[in-house]
Amino acid sequence: MTEKIGVYVCHCGSNIAGVVDVVDVANWAAEKLGHQGVVIARDYKFMCSSLGQELIEKDIKELGLTRVVVAACSPHLHEKTFRTAAKNAGLNPYLVELASIREQVSWVHTDKAVATAKSKAVVSGAVSRVIENRALDEIKVPINPNTLVVGGGIAGIQSALEIANAGFHVYLVEREPSIGGHMAQFDKTFPTLDCSACILTPRMVEAGTHPNITLLTWSEVVNVAGYVGNFNVTIKKKARFINEELCTGCGICQEKCPKKVIDDVYEAGLGYRKAVYTPFAQAVPNFPVMDKENCTYFEKGTCKACEKFCPTNAIDFNQQDELINIDVGNIVLATGYDLFDARRVSNYGYGRLPNVFTSLEFERLSNAAGPTSGNIVLRDGKTTPKSVGIIHCVGSRDRNFNNYCSVICCMQGLKFAHLVHERTGATVYNFYIDMRTAYKAYDEFYQRVLEEGTLFVRGKVAEVTDAARYSNERGKLIIQTEDTLAGKQRRIPVDMVILSSGLQPRKDAKEVGKLFGISCSMDGWFTEKHPKLDPVSTMTEGIYIVGCAQGPKDIPSSVAQGAAASARVLDKILQKEVALEPIKATVDQAKCSGCKICNGLCPFNAIAFIEDDKISYINPALCQGCGTCVAACPAGAISGTGFSNEQIIAQIDGLLLRNLEPAEA
């Protein structure tokens, strides 16, 4: 049967038409590809507009088109748009093929003749291919209404609460003993200087007590199987050595535990905790965990002080790690960030010079619940600094470390300046490259700090040293910097240096990404589906990313993203079912020789060998449609819908212009 093909060439305003002679492409297709079945070829200003779509729909109905080729942008942008248009006109959506002449042609080439010739070839390839396209039906699968949220920082908490409040169940998994994340470590939040705990802890309690939230702290996801709507997730609940049923959270065990350990998570290494501990007083849940590595009993076999004093016998030294298996329909990743390790910038002396602090250390230092009860003092624990230097962009916007801007450091540095000024009266210097105070009420805060008398030096700090050159530098830390506004070098002696360190992807972000089947950008942050229009979705349907896991951001943005992802999840849940792309491999039983070559190729275990019939079988529910088995089958028994051999070979011929009428040769 001869197909009736319509070819539509988009101008995309001047995006395509500026480089490609779209009229020539359309005319050429009508003339040269007529024998292939092209019955109409049009060009139009904006094919994706409603008028453009109507044009196609009208042609399908009136001319009885059986195939459609749209030469426009990348299929990743508008394939769905044109497939829906075809569907509206009664044509199977999989009989539409996109030929990208924007991202792959007009935007990357400059010579009009060359770009036009390439566009013709691309259209020709699509026309040849679309003839081989087959009508396909979307696969509909039901959606499990439960959701998994990974990471209990503010973004994850927000996301979990939104979904739970809408009446659906959420599993909130957190690696640490308590939810709260980095925000729980802060004293004040910019620009309003609300007390971080005051605004965070009510949310934590709400999440901890919500009937629709199952809280799994001290737990990690170890395996993810399935696909959107039907994920099967295995979670490792690490042994707490505390019976949660019996524990009342009274805290006696912590009091009696004889083993003191430096707390390098919650206290950022600036304070101590016991071997059995809750990271902070308002922890949710309020059950302690036993740190097996440091517990005297686990080390030496005696002690058990906690057990002796526990009034409810909740200590259980025999507890084991537990694997929990859950089914969920959607997953939100809110795994957060790591602080840039300031020791890498060794010219700033962190780790060598005692009075150089990182931002997280300073957060603890200034926190009323921190190791110094909020007294801003030097490393000796008692001296109040008379002068403090705050260095911005540590590890960020620096080609030696991270190229990106960590977004929060400027505001963080200003907040520190304010706190130091307010509590110690010290002279404060801020060393910045550019002051970035975008967003609501941020620049006003900057103005406020300026008026308070904080001194600002614009320039990248070269070095922090204790090598004094002049008498006023003795016993001080000297900040050597370029002052780009005054156009000279400065040496500024101070008592304390705070490094406004940047944010980094979690150390294991890549492995976590792999676990959930999503990718990381070059910098290591999780990649969103679209940087502007789809910032919380990922390329893997049903997996969303929020908060700093997606890129550096402040608290308001993290909260907004958490809520945004929840709206996406609820949208999916309320649709009750999801349509999957019908790109699957199937075995033609008549052709299968039973050689089993394909069996070992499938990483999803979708291929099984049926001993009775001596043939292989592909489970469509498990098949992800990669096509590796199709390529491997020596008998040509496996075919891959949407990407069949016939389609690809036709496209090769089309691109090489071997489909032109012989008379043209």
Partner 1 sequence: MTDQFEPTIIGFTCNWCSYRASDLAGTARMKYAPNVKLIRLMCSGRLDPTFVLRALSSGADGVMITGCHPGECHYIEQNYKALRRFLLLRRVLNGLGIEPERVKLVWASAAEGARFAAETTAFVEEIRKLGPLNWGKADDGPQATDHDQPSFAHGKEMEVPA
Partner 2 sequence: MNKYLLYPGCSMESSAKAYMESLNAIVEPLDLHFDEIEDWNCCGATEYLGINLIPAYSLIARNLALASKQKNGTRTVVAPCSACYLNLAKADHYMQERPSLGVKVNEALAAGDLQYKAGTLDVRHLIDILVYDVGLEKIRDAVVRPLTGLKVVPYMGCMLPRPDYQHRWSDHEHPTELDDLLRALGADVIDYPLTTSCCGGHMTQIGPETAFELIRRLVSDADGRGAQMMVTVCPMCQMNIDAYQNETNHFFGTEYHMPILFFTQLMGLAFGRDPKELGIGVELVSSRNALANIGVEVPVTQEPAAPRKKDEGLPMPRRWNKREAQKEAVK
**Does residue number 114 form part of the binding site for partner 1 (CB under 8 A)?**
yes
3 state SS for 534-593:
ECCECCCCCEEECHHHCCCCCHHHHHHHHHHHHHHHHHHHHHCEEEECCCCEEECCCCCC
Please state the φ and ψ torsions of residue 610, each to the nearest 5 degrees. -95, 110
Would you say 466 or 554 has its CB closer to partner 2?
466
Residue ranges with strand state E in 433-495 = 455-458, 461-465, 477-483, 488-494
Q: Which does 349 bind (CB under 5 to 8 A by kind): partner 1, partner 2, none?
A: partner 2
Matching residue, tokens 């890549």:
510
By CB under 8 A, residue 301 contacts partner 1: no
The DSSP secondary-structure symbol of 665 reads -
| Distance in Å, CB of 591 to partner 1, minimum | 15
Dist CA 476 CA 474 (whole Å): 5
Report the alpha-carbon distance of residue 177 to residue 298 in Å, rounded.
Answer: 19
Evaluate the CA torsion angle 8, 13, 16, 21 in order and state its sign: positive
Amino acid occupying residue 615: I
141 neighbors 230 (Cβ within 8 angstroms):
yes
Segment near partner 2 (CB under 8 A); pick from 223-231, 460-468, 556-564, 580-588: 460-468
CB of 541 to partner 1, least distance (A): 12
> Token digits for 204?
């934590």
Near partner 1 in 324-383, by CB under 8 A: none
The Cα–Cα gap between 620 and 631 comes to 17
Considering only residues 8 to 67 of the shown chain, the ones binding partner 1 according to CB under 8 A are: 32
Q: What is the largest CA-CA distance in the chain?
A: 97
Stretch that binds partner 2, among 35-43, 440-448, 468-476, 497-505 (CB under 8 A): 468-476
For residue 550, the number of C-alpha atoms closer than 13 Å in the C-beta half-sphere is: 29
Select from 204-212, 262-270, 296-304, 654-662 the region that touches partner 1 (CB under 8 A). 654-662
67, 118, 175, 274: which one binds partner 1 (CB under 8 A): 118
Per the listing, tokens 């992807």 go with: 505
Q: Which residue's CB is nearer to partner 2, number 177 or number 395?
A: 395
As measured in angstroms, the least distance from the Cβ of 496 to partner 2 is: 17
Q: For helices 154-165 and 555-575, give the axis angle rounded to 10 degrees.
A: 30
The interface region with partner 1, picked from 63-71, 191-199, 211-219, 620-628 by CB under 8 A, is: 620-628
Among positions 6, 52, 177, 349, the unique one binding partner 2 when judged by CB under 8 A: 349
Q: Which does residue 466 bind out of partner 1, partner 2, none, counting CB within 5 to 8 angstroms by kind? A: partner 2
Pairing mode, strands 170-173 and 213-216: parallel
Q: Is 346 in the site for partner 2 (CB under 8 A)?
A: yes
Residue 379 interacts with partner 2 (CB under 8 A): yes or no? no
Out of partner 2, partner 1, none, what residue 114 binds, judged by CB under 5 to 8 A for its kind, is partner 1
617 binding partner 1? (CB under 8 A):
no
Which of partner 2, partner 1, none sits in contact with 657, Cβ below 5 to 8 A by type?
A: partner 1
Report d(CA 522, CA 395) in Å as an integer.
16
**Nearer residue to partner 2 within complex by CB, 87 or 344:** 344
Q: Between residue 606 and residue 625, which ones bind partner 2 under the rule CB under 8 A?
A: none
Contact of residue 115 among partner 1, partner 2, none (CB under 5-8 Å per partner type)? partner 1
Span of 84-92, 117-125, 217-225, 472-480 interacting with partner 1 by CB under 8 A: 117-125
Candidates 141, 468, 520, 626; binder of partner 2 (CB under 8 A) is 468
Contact pick of 47, 117, 333, 494 for partner 1 (by CB under 8 A): 117
By CB under 8 A, residue 465 contacts partner 2: yes
- Residue 486 binding target from partner 2, partner 1, none, CB below 5 to 8 Å by type: none
The whole-angstrom separation of Cα 171 and Cα 155 is: 14
Contacts with 222 (C-beta within 8 Å, 6 or more apart), sequence order:
234, 235, 236, 323
**Torsion angles phi and psi, residue 652, rounded to 5:** -60, -50
CA distance 155 to 546: 6
Q: Quick one: which segment of 169-177, 209-217, 229-237, 511-519 binds partner 1 (CB under 8 A)?
A: 511-519
Stretch that binds partner 1, among 62-70, 107-115, 149-157, 460-468 (CB under 8 A): 107-115
Q: List 455's β-bridge partners, or say none.
A: 429
One of 113, 205, 265, 610 touching partner 1 (CB under 8 A) = 113
Lookup: tokens for 611: 């001993």
- Interface positions, 85-104, toward partner 1 (CB under 8 A): 100, 102-104
Among 78, 120, 418, 553, binds partner 1 (CB under 8 A): 120
To partner 2, the closest distance from the beta carbon of 477 in angstroms equals 10
d(CA 33, CA 25): 11
Q: What residue type is assigned to position 518 of the chain? A: I
Which lies closer to partner 2 via its Cβ, residue 339 or residue 356? 356
604 binds partner 1 (CB under 8 A): yes
User: Which window, 94-102, 242-250, 310-318, 345-353, contacts partner 2 (CB under 8 A)?
Assistant: 345-353
Residue 341 Cβ, how far from partner 2 at the closest point, in Å? Answer: 13
378 C-beta neighbours (distance < 10 Å), count: 16
Six token digits for residue 492: 């500024």
Which residues lie across from 224 on neighbouring strands? 233
Amino acid at 242: I
8 A C-beta contact, residue 445 and residue 414? yes
Shortest distance in whole angstroms from residue 393 CB to partner 2:
17
As a whole number of angstroms, the distance between CA 220 and CA 150 comes to: 8
Residue 473 CA, distance from chain mean position:
46
Contacts of 341 (CB under 8 A, 6+ apart): 395, 501
* 350 vs 362 by CB, closer to partner 2: 350
List of residues contacting partner 1 (CB under 8 A): 32, 74-76, 100, 102-105, 107-111, 113-115, 117-118, 120-122, 125, 514, 517, 519, 521-522, 527, 539, 583, 601, 603-604, 624-628, 630-632, 640, 642-643, 645, 648-649, 651-653, 655-662, 664-665
List of residues contacting partner 2 (CB under 8 A): 346-347, 349, 352, 465-469, 474
